[in-house]
Amino acid sequence: MLNTSSGEAGYLSLLLALAIVILAAKVFAEDPAVAEASPSPVRTLVFILVQDRDLERAMNALTSVGARCTRLRSRGGFLGQSGHLLLVGVGEGQLPGAMHLLEQVCRTRVEYVSAPLEAIPGPMPAPIAVQVRGATVFAFDVERHEEFGL
């Protein structure tokens, strides 16, 4: 009797563990960040222009989803601010996921700078709201993609 019930409990717990594993696998498969780790043929080449300050977060975000990126130094045309151009190859249907991640790390935001104006006397210059633009993204269709030496 005792034997049977402990065997039953063992069987039940095994079933429960199996159910948890299946459920977890399903949840992870639906998570875009995890789903993107699986390699698929590159269909789109994305040019991402990011500011210096967003570079680390943008690259970490892209690396975390398994996208390989190449970085080039660049300079903005208007203010001449230093930035980076990232070249990222993404697979079919992976662009929305990558953009979603990127949106979180380099979106448009308002920052306050206190510019010391010598023309205006006073103890403290008033902070000026400055809109800091997020990343600029261009996506191109890739006709052909080749990896050499793999």
Residues near another protein (CB under 8 A):
42, 45, 59, 62-63, 67-73, 86-89, 140-150
Residue 57 CB, shortest distance to another protein, in Å, is: 13
Rounded distance, CA 71 to CA 88, Å? Answer: 9
Q: In the chain, what's the furthest Cα-to-Cα distance?
A: 94
Residue 97 CB, shortest distance to another protein, in Å, is: 17
Residue 120: CB partners within 8 Å, gap ≥ 6? none
- Quote the Cα angle for 104-127-84, to 5°: 40
The radius of gyration of the chain's CA atoms, rounded to the nearest angstrom, is 25
**59 and 86 in contact (C-beta within 8 Å)?**
yes
- The sign one gets for the Cα dihedral 40, 45, 132, 60 is positive
Residue 86 CB, shortest distance to another protein, in Å, is: 7
Q: Closer to another protein at the Cβ: 119 or 150?
A: 150
Q: Closer to another protein at the Cβ: 71 or 103?
A: 71
Residue 71 CB, shortest distance to another protein, in Å, is: 5
Q: Closer to another protein at the Cβ: 6 or 63?
A: 63
Residue 35 CB, shortest distance to another protein, in Å, is: 20
Q: Closer to another protein at the Cβ: 77 or 116?
A: 77
Q: Closer to another protein at the Cβ: 112 or 140?
A: 140
Amino acid at 112: Y
